[in-house]
A and B are shown apart, each in its own frame.
Chain A
Amino acid sequence: MNNISESSQWQALKALADQQRQQPIHQLFSENPKRFEQLSFRQGELLVDFSKQHFQRDTLEQLIALAEQCELPNWIRQLFEGAEVNHTENRPALHTALRLPEGKECWLEGKNISIDVQQNLQRMDDLVHMIHSGQWRGCSGEAIDTVVNIGVGGSDLGPLMACNALAETPARDDSGRLAQQAAIDVHFVSSMDGSQLADLLKVLNPMRTLFVIASKSFTTIDTMANAATAKEWLNQNANCSETALVARHFIAVSSKPEKMLAWGIPKQNQLEFWEWTGGRYSMWSAIGLLIALKLGMSAFKTMLAGAHSMDEHFRQAPLEENIPALLALTGIWNINFLNIGAHAILPYDGRLKNLPAYLEQLEMESNGKSVNRQGETVDYNTCPILWGEIGTNAQHAFYQLLHQGTEAVMCDFIVAAKRYGPDASQELRHQHQLNLANCFAQSRILALGDSVLEDAQSAPAHKRYQGNQPCTTIMLNELSPFTFGQLIAMYEHKVFVQSVIWGINPFDQWGVELGKQVATNLLGQLDGHETDNLDASTAGLIQAINQ
């Protein structure tokens, strides 16, 4: 396929967009009372409503035709079958294999990798059990009750998000009994400057603290620097050999066993994941250890099962009902045909506070590319700028711009229909109703503008609302490990579909490499070496420090 933007389908969509622009979203609603039925989709406990988007049912059909022109079904098949979809690094992207139920097979280069996956899950289970039962001992012999994850990017955002999202889930062990893990405190540190870690070390008890070093390459400088600080802190507080100290206080998760060993991590404290798992798709692997520690292994497996159910939907459902595909194509419509370059992620649920940061990485690191698979610069937009915040908090911050600014912004509203059981206080249950009302009110005004009022025209200009900001509402029946798994897998597949349309590789991230290299070089100059070869700005800044 040559340049997609020159294809007849692309051109047809462009023409359609010109037409569609004439008709604001509120008019689409008044003309078609069946919009919700036609443009909302369900998969299990997940409901996705596209009816507040700036298009009609037949636009979706045109978009699906574009996807077919891009051979989307074939790409989906290749993704699941382990083809080298990451062609710049000669790797498949088999995060879907991490969520296969026990007994299902996934073959890669003559090997059923499901067996490795299940074995690794079992090892995770053993570690989790040991820690939960109070039998993982620190070097004083006391039981570990605090676990700190040291990782950054994919080794941080996913587990951090999941732990916060699902903290209300009562932790149960495999037999369904309430487990003891409430007693395990989990923390995450990622920042290179050590500030998060330094704050934690002031309050933690070294003898009861275990560190999990999570790094795919086991060379990530941010992570290794934090790990070294943690080790030094333990050393100052312990009186045992360094071998014992590392064996009792560090677990490592990486795809590089030899590097873990070189750092001193004994074999039994190593958890592995594989080259075919991208960092930002690794929450489903042993990188999710903290999730299992916080919620129990059974909840972790339920989360995998939720993601797997979305995988199966994505693999099998026709494009007309395929939720990740439709979500992606809606984005394509907004980005490439309505020329919208900003995307707000608005969870109406405090538990999902880390979802925006997670999706920022997932989408922008995956699709923030301008060179296609043939090595040519593309002549159309790819990934927009994503940002977000808990919706109700953002209402007091950047919603002003969404409602009355000059930027067109597409918005995802994410909300759980049910929350707080009958045991919760009446006031708390009322807060959920309040939250739902705000979620629906905001998406309504953003899409429909002040047309929702009867006499809006009479208001002064500064009180008017233009609307027409396209919104998608993603509603979970409730936020549980299962629906959470579905939700995240949905976004992962959405990103893949968009990459297929744009003809780019979503699984590499060459754009983050040069910075690491240049930073390493600058270390020497910060130590006082010559700065002559630098640009004047950088040289000036360094000289200002070294004076």
Chain B
Amino acid sequence: MKIAIWGNELIAWTAAACFAEMGNEVLFTPLFSGGDNSESANLDHAPANVKEEPGLIEQLQQQQDSGRLQFSEVTTASMAMLHFLAFLPKQLTYAESLCHMLAKDKERQLIVMNASNFGIGASDKLQAFLSGNQQVMAYIPDQLPAGSALAHFKKPDHLIIGCQQEWALMHIRALYRPFSQNVNSWLLMSAREAEYTKFAITGMLALRLAYINDLANLADEIDVDIDIIRQAMGSDERIGQHYLNPGCGFGGEHFPQYIEGLAGTLSQARNSSLLSTVLEENEKQKELPFRKLWRHYDCNLQGKTISIWGLAFKPGTASISNAPSLKVIDALLNQGCKVQVHDPMAMANIEMYFAKHHHNDQLRFCQNEMQALENSDGLLLLTEWAQYFSPDYQTMRDAMNTALVIDGRNVFDKKLIEELGFSYYGVGR
């Protein structure tokens, strides 16, 4: 099949690679900015999160070499019948002008699959640019997790497809069949319902995280171990284990952004502040490790050397988008700390992020995690990279000035580490 892909989200690049791999002819216009004169692109234009995505650039290269993936001019791409839109949330106007342009010929058949996160009702808005039953707007929510985008695109757990035109569904099914042969896992609904489903799922996950974090913070105060509570909660089949790990807040490119969109919608339409509270609390939670350190040192961190393990917003990615490390480092630098950081992938991004910080001379990037502990007055663990799980505690103690560990992801064994002479603070334990 011939398909045109528009927009610069991670899912645009992933879809380009995957559709081409399955034999489709892919015309890719990532830099489309609303008109014929949009800049033409090549692989070098891939944004940072695409370049950091494991295996993605290589696969894009292969598909380009095979000729099935072409970076395309606007006019060539717009000839296709199938279109896949993956713009950034702020680029709704691009999508509008594209739909306007595609639908100029009212007679042509057109299937536009929108995977951009423009909020509830956007698909209907875009549909208004199209005409008749022969021009269809479908919504396919973007559910790709950064760090494993390819794997999830190629083998989704389930597919939500918001489209009710039989003839268009036939084409969409054919396009996605190589990735998801089990039709039972296809959830078909209207575009508006698909948008709402996407939001509802994201909001639910955020609520679970916020709730477990809230419970953990209370556990801190009443001296119970949240780990025990969490396991017991998860054993109840009505609840389950997923998204019940307390920690120092969630980040990432999409998750907070989606919730922000949903929070805005809910508060406008229903005057509901539930999700805005979740977001606010999440922002506070990101600084939890800082606050524990602050209280440990009686509100004075001037001149302390603090180590941080883990900078990415989650393991397996170099992305620092909305990561707790950003807030924690900023706070520590402002309190006059020397900050020694380590991360297996995200160091370059952090270096760039803090390049203009007025205290960036206090920030040191370390080759390995043990180097980050030299003369340290405390370690903050912010991202649960596997390589941090079982360190050599003796080497740690020798390197550090003060044996203090603040574990923002509850990865260490509290009893053991305390036994070894560390002061230990977890999240809710």
Contact = CB atoms under 8 A, between A and B. Distances in A.
Interface of A: 130, 133, 135, 137, 139-142, 239-241, 243-244, 247-248
B300 A141 contact: no
Contacts of A247: 299-300
B298 interface: yes
B284 interface: yes
Given A140-B295, A142-B284, A130 B334 contact: yes
26 contacts: A130-B334, A133-B334, A135-B331, A135-B335, A137-B294, A137-B299, A137-B331, A137-B335, A139-B295, A140-B294, A140-B295, A141-B287, A141-B291, A141-B293, A141-B294, A141-B295, A141-B299, A142-B284, A142-B287, A240-B295, A240-B298, A241-B298, A243-B298, A244-B298, A244-B299, A248-B299
Contacts of B294: 137, 140-141
Given A141-B287, A141-B290, 14 more contacts: A130-B334, A133-B334, A135-B331, A135-B334, A137-B331, A139-B299, A140-B294, A141-B295, A142-B287, A239-B295, A240-B295, A241-B298, A244-B300, A247-B299
A130 B291 CA distance: 17
A25 B300 CA distance: 68
Contacts of A241: 298
Nearest to B294: A141
Nearest to A248: B299
A322 to B, nearest CB: 45
A241 B296 CA distance: 11
Contacts of B287: 141-142
B330 interface: yes
Nearest to A139: B299
Contacts of A135: 330-331, 334-335
A136 B426 CA distance: 24
**Residue among A130, A137, A248 having the largest count of chain B Cβ atoms under 10 Å:** A137
Nearest to B292: A141
Contacts of A142: 284, 287, 291
Contacts of B331: 135, 137
**Residue among B284, B290, B292, B300 having the largest count of chain A Cβ atoms under 10 Å:** B300
Contacts of A139: 295, 299
Contacts of A137: 294, 299, 331, 335
Contacts of B291: 140-142
A140 B299 CA distance: 8
Interface string B298-326: 11100000000000000000000000000
Contacts of A244: 298-300
B353 to A, nearest CB: 16
Nearest to B299: A244
Contacts of B299: 137, 139, 141, 240, 244, 247-248
A539 to B, nearest CB: 50
A243 B298 CA distance: 9
A497 B294 CA distance: 55
A142 B295 CA distance: 11
A244 B297 CA distance: 10
A456 B295 CA distance: 76
B396 to A, nearest CB: 24
Contacts of A140: 291, 294-295
Contacts of B292: 141
Contacts of B284: 142
A130 B299 CA distance: 16
A18 to B, nearest CB: 69
A135 B327 CA distance: 10
A267 B279 CA distance: 37
Nearest to A238: B299
Nearest to A138: B299
A141 B332 CA distance: 11
A142 B294 CA distance: 10
A240 B298 CA distance: 6
Nearest to B284: A142
A243 B299 CA distance: 9
Nearest to B358: A129
A342 B334 CA distance: 54
B365 to A, nearest CB: 22
Interface string B256-300: 000000000000000000000000000010010011111100111
Nearest to A245: B299
Interface string B366-398: 000000000000000000000000000000000
Nearest to A133: B334
A137 B295 CA distance: 11
Contacts of A141: 287, 290-295, 299
Contacts of B300: 244, 247
Interface in B327-360: 330-331, 334-335
A51 to B, nearest CB: 53
A240 to B, nearest CB: 6
A139 B294 CA distance: 8
A239 B300 CA distance: 14
A140 B298 CA distance: 9
B36 to A, nearest CB: 35
Contacts of A243: 298
Nearest to B327: A134
A453 B333 CA distance: 71
A241 B284 CA distance: 23
Contacts of A239: 295
A235 to B, nearest CB: 14
Contacts of B298: 240-241, 243-244
Contacts of A248: 299
Nearest to B302: A268
A117 B293 CA distance: 37
Contacts of A133: 334
B293 to A, nearest CB: 8
Nearest to B296: A141
A115 B291 CA distance: 38
A248 B300 CA distance: 9
A135 B330 CA distance: 8
A151 B290 CA distance: 33
A538 to B, nearest CB: 47
A133 B330 CA distance: 10
Nearest to B297: A244
B55 to A, nearest CB: 39
For the complex of A and B, 9 pairs with smallest distance between CB atoms: A141-B291, A141-B294, A244-B299, A135-B334, A244-B298, A139-B299, A248-B299, A241-B298, A240-B299
A307 B304 CA distance: 44
Interface in B175-230: none
Nearest to B293: A141
A210 B376 CA distance: 31
Nearest to B290: A141
B296 to A, nearest CB: 10
A241 B330 CA distance: 25
A240 B296 CA distance: 9
B327 to A, nearest CB: 9
A133 B298 CA distance: 22
A247 B302 CA distance: 13
A134 B399 CA distance: 32
Interface in B30-74: none
**Residue among B298, B299, B300 having the largest count of chain A Cβ atoms under 10 Å:** B299
**Residue among B293, B298, B335 having the largest count of chain A Cβ atoms under 10 Å:** B298
Contacts of B290: 141
A527 to B, nearest CB: 38
Nearest to A241: B298
A248 B298 CA distance: 10
A5 B368 CA distance: 88
A486 B287 CA distance: 44
B302 to A, nearest CB: 10
Contacts of A130: 334
